[in-house]
Amino acid sequence: MKTLRHFNHFTIAGFTYYDGALVFSQLQIGTELSLVFEPDNRYDPKAVAIHFGEHKLGFVPRGSNDAIAKLLEMGHQPFACHIQQLDPTAHPEKQVGVVVFVRRAGNLPN
């Protein structure tokens, strides 16, 4: 029985404006990232930041954040987010692609 199921995939929005350049050399395909709901974000009340450790890399794109934001807002942590693609030659907004999986109930972090 699968413990993870594909939920969505996208490139990190706003990568240019945060810590991506500082940690790019540490990122690898498969690296796990964390998703953090930012309800007080002045640009998007459904903003979901993407972090590598303490470093903010950017955001889930606005067109893909609704369901993720709702679940995180309500205290659920069903997602696993991993780097799927890295391209240092691409425009910064297209350098890091991620895949988001939803975890099967019973396999959620405490």
Q: What is the pLDDT of residues 26-76, one digit of tens each?
A: 999 999 999 999 999 999 999 999 999 999 999 999 999 999 999 999 999
d(CA 100, CA 10): 9
Class in CATH terms, 4-103: alpha beta
Query: Is 0.85 topped by the overall pTM?
Result: yes
Cβ atoms 55, 23 nearer than 8 A: yes
DSSP 28: -
